[in-house]
Structure formats: C-alpha cells, structure tokens
Structure 1
Amino acid sequence: MRSMTPADVNAIDGAVIVDVREPREHEQARVEGTIDIPLGELVERIDEVPRDTTVYVLCHVGGRSAQAAQYLEAQGFDAVNIDGGIVEWYRAGLPVAVGN
C-alpha cells in the first residue's frame, strides 16, 4: 500500500479524496470536496468511489484510511493512504473547514 503526506496530496490538482471518518467527525473538521463514506459503509457504497483515477484515502490519524486503501487496492482501485489523516493535514497548515 502506498502512502503520501497531506502536503503532497494537497499539491495534486483535482485529487480525489475519500474520507472514511464518521459523520460526527466531519462536523468537527473536514477537507472540502471529499467523498464522504464511513469505513463501515465502504463495502456497500464502493460504487461511489471513482475507478478511473487515483483515490487518496483520509481518516482521523491514518489507521482507518490504511484499512480502506488496502481494501480498495484489493478491489482493483489505485488507492493511496494519507499519512497522519486530518490531524496531520491540519498540523501542516492545509485548509480545513471547522464546524458545521
């Protein structure tokens, strides 16, 4: 499984990010424009993930996104884990929407 830093992913124009956190987590902080599919729903909602491009998978600190990226790879997707999740995204000073 490949991994990239949040800064490297943010630098990719048009990067498709799949956020596998729970809805309550999005209320606290989120990256705008992500495809939001909680990890527990990924199997049922896999058709919402584009197959024609690399997808970058995000969670809180990187554990769930690593699981999701491995699963997506096994299903034939080009998936990359975002190291450190949204916590590291925020620490890197990248854009994060906070609150509702």
Structure 2
Amino acid sequence: MTGPGANAVQVADLPTDATLLDVRENDEWAAGHAPDAHHIPMSELTARIGELPDADPLYVICRSGGRSGRVVAFLGQQGHSVINVDGGMQSWEALGRPLVGEHDGVAPTVI
C-alpha cells in the first residue's frame, strides 16, 4: 500500500516518539536522513531482518512511500507491526523536519 490507509500515515501525522526504519539505499541515506532513524536498505532487508528495531509499531520510510509500502507488506506478512510513512523523506524535507547527512561540509538533502 502506498496511499493513505490502515497501514499508512502522513509525515505530518507521525507520533513524536515514532521509531523510523529508513529503507533507502546507502547513497540516499548518506545525503540526508531523519536524525534518529534506523537504516536497513530494502535490498538488504531479508539478510538483516534480525537488526530490525524493537518497536510496536515500526514506521517505515523511503523517498516517497513506494519502497516502504512494499517493505510494510513484507514485514506485515512476517508478523511485524509496521506502518508506511506515505510521502516519505520528500514530505519530511518539504515540512522542514530536521535532516542529518553523512558528508562533512555538505548540507543534508533528500535525493
């Protein structure tokens, strides 16, 4: 599911204590991510599933909501309590939420 629904939430409606799982690729993460997010790229998820944060629910985010929607469907089938962050990091940035990057001297951004 990529649109709003039972397993989706808009960035503006995220709880302040939400545990975020960012499933974007390494270059996207390095360019800019939410300060307290956990990072497991979608391409590595099955191999690293044991590293999932212990959160109920776990909010899954990507660039726009497509990849995170697929991850939410997969993890939901595995019995995890997960919610897709619709609009993803593009909405996060547009709303002026804080970003941190991994490149010294370069302002963080969403790519």
Pair in the same fold by TM > 0.5: yes
Q: How many pairs are equivalent?
A: 98
Deviating 4+ runs (over 6 angstroms): none
Unaligned segments of structure 2, at least 5 residues: 2-6, 104-111
Contact 1:58-1:81 within 8 A present in 2 as well: yes
SS of residue in 2 equivalent to 1:80:
strand
**Are 2:37 and 1:34 equivalent residues in the alignment?**
yes
SS of residue in 2 equivalent to 1:43:
coil
Instruction: Report the AA paired with residue 7 of structure 1.
Output: A
Report how far residue 27 of structure 1 moved: 1.7
**Are 2:16 and 1:4 equivalent residues in the alignment?**
no
Report how far residue 13 of structure 1 moved: 3.4
Instruction: Report the AA paired with residue 94 of structure 1.
Output: R
State the alpha-carbon separation in 2 of the partners of residues 50 and 23 from structure 1: 18
Point out the structure with max Rg over C-alpha.
Answer: 2
Instruction: Report the AA paired with residue 49 of structure 2.
Output: I
Unaligned segments of structure 1, at least 5 residues: none
Aligned identity (percent) is 35
State the alpha-carbon separation in 1 of the partners of residues 26 and 53 from structure 2: 21
Alignment of 1:1-100 (within 5 A): 2-9=7-14, 12-98=15-101, 100=103
Contact 2:19-2:55 within 8 A present in 1 as well: no
SS of residue in 1 equivalent to 2:50:
helix
Q: Which residue of 1 aligns with 2:4?
A: none
State the alpha-carbon separation in 2 of the partners of residues 70 and 39 from structure 1: 12
C-alpha RMSD of matched pairs (Å): 1.5
User: Which one has a larger percent strand, Structure 1 or Structure 2?
Assistant: 1
